[in-house]
Amino acid sequence: DSGVTQTPKHLITATGQRVTLRCSPRSGDLSVYWYQQSLDQGLQFLIQYYNGEERAKGNILERFSAQQFPDLHSELNLSSLELGDSALYFCASSVGGGDPRNTEAFFGQGTRLTVV
Amino acid sequence: AQSVTQPDIHITVSEGASLELRCNYSYGATPYLFWYVQSPGQGLQLLLKYFSGDTLVQGIKGFEAEFKRSQSSFNLRKPSVHWSDAAEYFCAVGGVGQAGTALIFGKGTTLSVSS
């Protein structure tokens, strides 16, 4: 058990809909990362939050957004969903901070999103 | 372009045989290097990491990896593979470019173990 909790585990929704994925980081971790894993793109970094503030952006679509709340849990919002958004979405957490060695991340079990 | 390459998509190894999974990166400086393993339906588990110092690092489950700066490689090895090692293995780099402390992953190598 990594200590990172993601809900829900599975989600099936229709095209055009909006969903919210939730992540609780490990106790004490300030950074939360979101990744998308798909067969064609592999594991791609989407976005990072550190202590409530956006820290870095990867290949995140404009239809996607995220936030980190004062209790450090994070939500990833996916809107206007398309078939191609079907993927496994991982949340990871790390201690964070300015030291790049704080890249050691612990991953949740993922949320499998199926868009039909 | 900055990238992490795992040349082998799929490898099959006999149980008890040795294993080497290849990873190459293309960054100007030495990044922080990681190997993760993903079992079916599971999240990613960290096997080992390299930040600096000794270029041979030991990880969990009997895995080790060697950083070779001249070859921009960070290959994962195990002397004797067990059936439970069948999984997908990802090499990753961190602390590079605009991704900051986020990880950039290779495409992964699927390991099958035959009896």
| Residues in A touching B109 (Cβ below 8 Å) | none
Q: Which residues of A touch B48 (CB under 8 A)?
A: none
Test B99 with A45 for CB contact under 8 angstroms.
yes
d(CA B89, CA A22): 26
- The secondary structure of A28-88, three-state, reads CCCEEEEEEEECCCEEEEEEEEECCEEEEECCCCCCEEEEECCCCCEEEEECCCCHHHCEE
Report chain A residues touching chain B, CB-CB < 8 A: 2, 4, 31, 33, 35, 42-45, 48, 55-58, 90, 92, 94, 96, 100-110
Q: For B22-65, write each residue's pLDDT tens digit.
A: 999 987 677 789 999 999 878 899 999 998 888 999 999 999 99
Q: pLDDT of A62-113, one tens digit each?
A: 999 999 999 999 999 999 999 999 999 999 999 877 676 677 899 999 999 9
Q: How far apart are the first and last CA of chain A?
A: 31
Residue A112's nearest CA partner among A18, A11, A22, A24 is: A11
* Alpha carbons A94 and A98: distance in angstroms, whole number: 12
- The model's confidence at residue A2, banded by pLDDT at 50, 70 and 90, is confident
Tokens describing residue A84: 């191609």
The DSSP string of B39-95 is: -TT--EEEEEEE-SS-SEEE-GGG-EEEEEGGGTEEEEEESS--GGG-EEEEEEEES
Q: Measured between CB atoms, which of B46, B49, B90 is closest to A43? A: B90
Three-class SS of residue B99?
A: helix
Q: From A31, A36, A77, select the one nearest B102 (Cα to Cα).
A: A31
Measure in Å the smallest separation between the Cα of B8 and chain A Cα atoms.
Answer: 14
Residue A13 three-state SS: strand
- Looking at the partner chain, which of B34, B51, B100 has a beta carbon nearest the beta carbon of A56? B100
If you average pLDDT over residues A42-54, what whole number do you get?
Answer: 93
* Cross-chain CB nearest to A58 (options B36, B49, B102): B102
Min Cα distance B45 → chain A (Å) is: 7
> Measured between alpha carbons, how far is residue A13 from residues A67, A88, A116, B81 in Å?
22, 14, 6, 40
- Please name the member of A105, A109, A110 whose beta carbon is closest to the beta carbon of B103: A105
